[in-house]
Chain A
């Protein structure tokens, strides 16, 4: 047990970090490995790889991910910002490099080969973007001479344009929604909030009208007869086959024909093998993480920390919500990974980084450290 009496960097960290959040994330990571054992063997077999190839890889990625998360959580807000800036710049450079030199996979240039590892740089950009946006908005709110809101807009534009060029509409949408949420929390006038909601509706309507693959997907969702609903049908079949208690580990059969059973549809595989009750448990874990994160954000009086925490937790929560909603056919199919559960190295590292930042900004700090910021902020 770490003593409170002796002050060391570790004891400081231990007593200020939110251990409940840390523990829940640990549980999610473990669940990810167990569920990868269910979801990934069929994919591995299809690709002619050893049965547990993806499980081994997941475990392999988990080690640096955990280290990264812990290291990030040690950072002070100032260093969080610096780290985020560095990650953002490198990340965006790689995103641009991917567009210019990357390999085209399924019609999009999202991947880049770096020292033998295939990585998706846009994943790393996301948490860094949230931190930078939080800094811009909070700074704009605290200091008069800072054009914070303007910087926020600039940041969004810089991030979204390359993502659209990739193209990666899932990440674009995610980034845009998180950014809007942060703008809302940063105290945007309700008039503009309504304006933003209207803009979002128009954007979706426009995408439906002018982007053929979006049209097709939404049509298929609204009218399953209109096209190929292979994925969704099989996902729903997984839930039906699994029932409340599931067929048992390794007994799943629908997973064999479910594409992306180890990533986008891991939730459906979970239902088939472990049952809907376990799905509900996972759902509760995510709900808990999100609510815990929001509570910590609410409790934190420092504007940057509050905004950053809220943004990071929204990013995490949105991914989980979209993934699960697609799996249970509540919204049209959209490729989105289930945080910490779905297989994917880049995604895992990015999530660990985001979670590390979240833990860092939600650490308890003495009010004296940031008193000037809150007093100034409230006086205006």
Chain B
């Protein structure tokens, strides 16, 4: 690398740069095999690093909780959910849990799926072999084979000795009384979760959360839920309704016994009904709870509300005169009376003759706005919410004019749930307290906690006119001697395709027992009852719903602790007597 000496001084550094650059380029392509030792170490170190990362990942996977097992444990808990017993007001069991087992399969563990299918269908012949084979052929870790099998079946399956087949203990809900109070009890699904009625209400109380914390393992760990229902009364009510429905060939029937002082529903039946042990039956639309879920135009029973409103407003009193000589005209509509008297009547007469004209005039006298606000106060325009999750919104006319007020006054043009109307009638007769009906056993009189909606005098007047109707009016056929029954019938033509159908009736009867100091309200509904020879061709409420209610009262009176009194009470309606109301003097 000797430089020639004759080169000029400024050439030297430039050539040096070229040379250095040249040798740099050359070294770029030179393989330095002598460096290989260090580089092998470097490659080895890289491998060590990568293996370290994989090892760390393995440890990470090992530290992860096994989610699959956690999920399984959780399902086991929820499947084994315990529910409290449901008992009636006297402590008789209405719903309880029994221990049972369900058989499941872990398809991945089953060795011979065809053999397993064959053996299992031999023990459980109700299973579909093809479906079962498909289930076992899946790649799932878990499939149910059959829920809630008998101990004998369990033993037989156990003896098959099939791997991958197991048993899961469960609680099965049973309703020992069958159809009794089916609509109130509701039902549970296969996982013992409430899906309807009080069962669903119980779940809403936070039971599931308590269970999941592991507090309740046995049914005995939980306090039973006591209903307001009296099972004996319930049986009697359903039995009489059933007979009545058969007799009058009605499409449906429903009955309610409401304690007017506590708001407790002592019995509720809606026919046709279903057996809660077979929850699928509850889905039939014909099996709805007609008292809470159905909404109906209540017909003349609504006149009790109108009468109470009129008297309570102060614009009318028990002796007010109402002209019912000719039909009431409104535009092209004409309102007439079914039992036309064609004369001037007092309020009690209007009530017992069920005069549409007189009642409509009372409502008009009070005014549209006052009518609306009164019905709202009585809970007739809003959805009634009880413990039962099933309820219905009333059908209220969108534009409410004078014509609406006139028709609603006698029970047409406003459809409400019968339970809702019963609550209002209860308030009319119990001294004026609107108590929301309850399906749970209450501690006694709840009137002092309830809002007062009418004056006590008005309440007495309503009791008076209802009793009068029981002795002289349409309710006479239901007036069982000794119980001092009062009541109001109602017959509404059903709306079919937007028109009132003359021959399709919806009849109701509401009775109070006893009228001087009511304790119970009896309600009976019949959907399309037929006229019979012995009813002289009539199908109105007084001929069917009324007598059925009478039979119910006669039968359950003793059960409810209502002893018959054969001497009428002294001075049952003191205010009415003082006012010298029509009919208060014999």
Contacts and interface: CB of A to CB of B under 8 A. Distances in A.
Contact of B47 (A149, A291, A307): A291
A330 B51 contact: no
B53 to A, nearest CB: 7
Contacts of A254: 108
Interface stretch (B38-46, B348-356, B523-531): B38-46
A186 B44 contact: no
A290 B51 contact: yes
Contacts of B55: 280, 283-284
Interface stretch (B26-34, B284-292, B461-469): B26-34
Contacts of A279: 58
A240 B29 CA distance: 51
Nearest to A236: B61
Contacts of A184: 39, 43
B283 interface: no
Interface in A279-326: 279-280, 283-284, 286-287, 290-291, 294-295, 297-298, 303, 306-307, 310, 314, 317, 321, 324-325
B58 A244 contact: no
Interface stretch (A76-84, A188-196, A341-349): A188-196
Given A291-B44, A307-B36, A253 B141 contact: yes
Nearest to B111: A45
Contacts, number: 128
A138 B33 contact: yes
B108 A187 contact: no
Nearest to A287: B51
Contacts of A317: 47
B213 interface: no
A29 to B, nearest CB: 20
Contacts of B36: 185-187, 303, 306-307, 310
Contacts of B61: 236, 239-240, 271, 276, 328
Which of B33, B37, B47 has the largest number of chain A CB atoms within 10 A? Answer: B33
A304 to B, nearest CB: 10
Which of B39, B57, B108 has the largest number of chain A CB atoms within 10 A? Answer: B39
Contacts of A330: 53-54, 57
Contact of B33 (A186, A189, A237, A256): A186
A141 interface: yes
B108 A294 contact: no
Interface residues of B, number: 37
Contacts of A142: 33
B50 interface: yes
Interface in A321-366: 321, 324-325, 328, 330
Contacts of B57: 328, 330
Interface residues on A, range: 35 or more
A187 B33 CA distance: 5
B54 A240 contact: no
A378 interface: yes
B40 A291 contact: no
A162 interface: no
A314 B43 contact: yes
Given A283-B54, A306-B36, A294 B27 contact: no
A91 interface: no
Contacts of B141: 253
Interface of A: 137-138, 140-142, 148-149, 181, 184-189, 191-192, 236-237, 239-241, 243-244, 253-254, 256-257, 271, 276-277, 279-280, 283-284, 286-287, 290-291, 294-295, 297-298, 303, 306-307, 310, 314, 317, 321, 324-325, 328, 330, 377-378
27 contacts: A141-B32, A142-B33, A148-B31, A184-B43, A188-B31, A189-B27, A191-B28, A192-B28, A236-B61, A240-B61, A240-B67, A241-B66, A253-B106, A253-B141, A254-B108, A257-B108, A276-B62, A280-B58, A286-B51, A287-B51, A294-B43, A303-B33, A306-B40, A310-B43, A314-B47, A324-B54, A330-B57
